[in-house]
Amino acid sequence: MTVTATSVGRPEQPAPPAAPSGARRMQRLVPAATAALSGVLLYVSFPPRTLWWLALPAFALFGWTLRDRSWKAGLGLGYLFGLGFLLPLLVWTGVEVGSGPWLALVVVEAIFVALVGAGIALVSRLPAWPVWAAAVWIAGEAARARAPFGGFPWGKVAFGQADGVFLPLAAVGGTPVLGFAVVLCGFGLYETVRVVVAHRRGDGGAPWRGAAVTALLSLVVPVLGALAARSLVSDKAENGTATVAVVQGNVPRAGLEFNAQRRAVLDYHARETIRLAEQVRAGKVPRPDLVLWPENSSDIDPFANPDAAAVIQGAADAIGVPLSVGAVVERGGKLYNEQILWDPDKGPVNTYDKRQVQPFGEYLPLRPLLGAINKDWTSMVRQDFSRGNKPGVFTMAGAKVGLVTCYEAAFDWAVRSTVTDGAQLLSVPSNNATFDRSEMTYQQLAMSRVRAVEHSRTVTVPVTSGVSAVILPDGTITQRTGMFVAASLVQKVPLRSSETPATRLGTLPELLLVLVAAGGLGRAAVSAVRRRADREIHAEQQRVTEAAR
């Protein structure tokens, strides 16, 4: 008798009659469409929307499409999920440079999701499969954050949870633990529905009871862990307070063209700082202890251009406190994206060079090959930026301010190294004028909120054109600006020096989850080999029996 493949606890049934070819095509299309739509659902869970909980049904549906599938099917379904998620999430990358780079980025990044889909399909036959599957997802994120060209962690599941109940888990083990909890809960949601449906159909027995326990734990443990982790979240001052001013000077107009108006951008930030100084003298706002300007607030090198230095010095004199300025600096024939600590009495006294520079934005990998394909591509990045080699912590009015420049906020190591180097509060100076009014600024703001909780630090976000913000160590935004307006935010914030478990553990939680994923994949591979051997033995026994007849 011909039988279908079975899952744990499911009795073998006679194979159903073959469906008409049209119905079979529809049956194949349903998982594919579901995989793509569940990816879109995950995108909708990301900022600027506050629908963080949609990540759970997104992974529940993704789990339904992958469970008991072959790895080849998982590869294709994972790629569709990746396209559904990343195409809308990263559309901002093509705002000014066209759809080509955006689509190329998505096509490459979705390959990682495809490999994850294949891995989840393999481990989906194991007992407690939601745990293995969630670990496989985090292993995929770990790979995507490191390769190619230094990685692209944008779109980590954790970055969509700034408003969610799972956020405190960032303080436990960083973005890997936070993301693992969300994905586990999503797969646990599907497993719960599957167990309930099977129970109603009468497919009971001990294996199903084990599946029910797995489903329940996958749903409950992440939530309980998040509730317990709330004790790690605090905005209490440990080293006093500092009154910070975040300046958003705005740009003459959106888009890449603003680089041709570099002096105007510098003047705008100086003018807004002088306006702030006038408000302080009038008693309208508190006097700040330090002032933070965004990335690229001076694209004119103040070390090589005395007029630019004079403008910055004038702003520093007006406000009378240390100023952190984002500048493009050339030194030794190399370009650096640099933060400069500018003292009103001493001038420039310290610098920080951005360490994680953006491929295809700040440097161009494969330049000869790309130039041969299209010369316009190489002209957009005429000279590559060089990387800094040490964390940036400025001592400003007694407060230790850690610098994490724009793109670096997406990288776990870049933020953590600044905190372990002594930062008592963080500043994420950014320039998003290139991306107009896209969702990019909101996605990056959510990253900063996660980092605030992860390391229990106040995070300030000075941006050229919006949205600038002040974020407390519990992830709460207390002040924010609009987009493409000149504004300043002044607030007294807590200074903290204690380290969360996430800060102390570093990459260890991620490494452990990668090892869990590797163990699950290894176990699944061994099981697959055994199943194949059993089928071959069974087939050989059938042939012998038939020959004996």
Contact partners, residue 504, CB within 8 Å, separation at least 6: none
Helix (H, G, I), strand (E, B) or coil at 393: strand
In the block, tokens 């933020």 appear at 415
The token pair that represents 415 in the structure block: 């933020």
In the block, tokens 């159903």 appear at 16
The question of whether 185 is a catalytic residue gets the answer no
The token pair that represents 13 in the structure block: 């049934």
The question of whether 354 is a catalytic residue gets the answer yes
Point out which residues pair with 402 in neighbouring strands. 393, 426
The token pair that represents 128 in the structure block: 């407690």
CB count, 10 Å around CB of 238? 13
The question of whether 406 is a catalytic residue gets the answer yes
Catalytic residue selected from 295, 362, 454, 510: 295
Catalytic residue selected from 109, 141, 354, 510: 354
Closest-CA residue to 429 (of 500, 344, 323, 300): 323
Distance CA 418, CA 424 (A): 10
Q: Give one DSSP letter per residue of 33-72, joined into a string.
A: HHHHHHHHHHHHTSTTS--GGGHHHHHHHHHHHHTT--HH
Closest-CA residue to 434 (of 512, 530, 349, 361): 361
Catalytic residue selected from 141, 272, 338, 406: 406
Closest-CA residue to 457 (of 400, 397, 395): 400
Distance CA 326, CA 226 (A): 37
Helix (H, G, I), strand (E, B) or coil at 434: helix
Catalytic residue numbers?
A: 295, 354, 406
